[in-house]
């Protein structure tokens, strides 16, 4: 697939550091405690103590992306867990325009879980892992976001 790698600035994205013992209030995205690290910060193997109920769970494994195919629009916490043995990453493209709307800063290492707050407007999106050969082997999926 020939995807344009341009950033779509219409969406605001904030990284959420998975702090040890950091609690996430129910229903809303908490103010991130001045995260200065990039994605890849669940250093202590940490899970958030309590992820918001509308957390989007994404399982990255050879070679599939396990996640809901329908989401509601707005800002959601995405929990990216690499359950495989290779590094994986995530790219989100608007399906209509092939424009990149979000990407991980770095690969998620095997066994690691990273968190990001991602805001998506309604529409159709393609979600894939950009590691060479992974999308063609199955790490690509279509999702629909609705109001
Ligand atoms: Cu991958």
* CATH number of the domain to which 59 belongs: 2.60.40.420
- In the reported structure, the alpha carbon of residue 145 is separated from the centroid of ligand 1 by a whole-number distance in angstroms of 23
pLDDT at 141 over 80: yes
pLDDT tier, 54 (very low <50, low <70, confident <90, very high otherwise): confident
1 lies in some domain: no
98 lies in some domain: yes
pLDDT at 5 over 60: no
- In the reported structure, the alpha carbon of residue 21 is separated from the centroid of ligand 1 by a whole-number distance in angstroms of 29
At residue 53, the pLDDT reads 75
3 lies in some domain: no
Give me the mean pLDDT over the 49-78 stretch.
Answer: 92
Report how far residue 114's alpha carbon sits from residue 45's, in angstroms, rounded to the nearest whole number: 9
pLDDT at 109 over 90: yes
User: Are 53 and 75 in contact, with CB atoms under 8 Å apart?
Assistant: no
Sort 42 into a burial class: Cβ within 10 Å, 0-12 / 13-18 / 19+: buried
- In the reported structure, the alpha carbon of residue 137 is separated from the centroid of ligand 1 by a whole-number distance in angstroms of 9
23 lies in some domain: yes
- Percentage of residues in the chain having pLDDT higher than 90: 63
pLDDT at 58 over 70: yes
C-beta neighbour count of 76 within 10 angstroms: 19
86 lies in some domain: yes
- In the reported structure, the alpha carbon of residue 2 is separated from the centroid of ligand 1 by a whole-number distance in angstroms of 17
- Percentage of residues in the chain having pLDDT higher than 70: 65
At residue 95, the pLDDT reads 96
- In the reported structure, the alpha carbon of residue 96 is separated from the centroid of ligand 1 by a whole-number distance in angstroms of 23
Give me the mean pLDDT over the 113-139 stretch.
Answer: 97
- In the reported structure, the alpha carbon of residue 48 is separated from the centroid of ligand 1 by a whole-number distance in angstroms of 23
pLDDT at 9 over 90: no
- In the reported structure, the alpha carbon of residue 63 is separated from the centroid of ligand 1 by a whole-number distance in angstroms of 7
pLDDT at 83 over 80: yes
Q: Which domain holds residue 108?
A: 13-146
How many domains are there within the chain?
1
42 lies in some domain: yes
- In the reported structure, the alpha carbon of residue 29 is separated from the centroid of ligand 1 by a whole-number distance in angstroms of 27
137 lies in some domain: yes
88 lies in some domain: yes
């Amino acid at each position: 697939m020939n995807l344009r790698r341009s950033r779509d600035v219409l969406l605001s994205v904030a990284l959420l550091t998975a702090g040890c013992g950091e609690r996430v209030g129910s229903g809303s995205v908490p103010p991130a405690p001045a995260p200065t690290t990039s994605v890849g910060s669940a250093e202590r193997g940490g899970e958030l103590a309590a992820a918001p109920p509308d957390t989007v769970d994404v399982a990255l494994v050879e070679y599939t992306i396990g996640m809901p195919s329908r989401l509601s629009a707005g800002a959601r916490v995405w929990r990216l867990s690499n359950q495989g043995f290779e590094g994986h990453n995530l790219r989100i493209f608007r399906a209509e325009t092939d424009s990149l709307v979000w990407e991980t800063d770095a690969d998620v290492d095997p066994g690691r879980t990273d968190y990001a707050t991602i805001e998506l407007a309604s529409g159709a999106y393609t979600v894939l892992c950009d590691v060479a050969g992974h999308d063609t082997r199955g790490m690509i999926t279509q999702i629909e976001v609705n109001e």
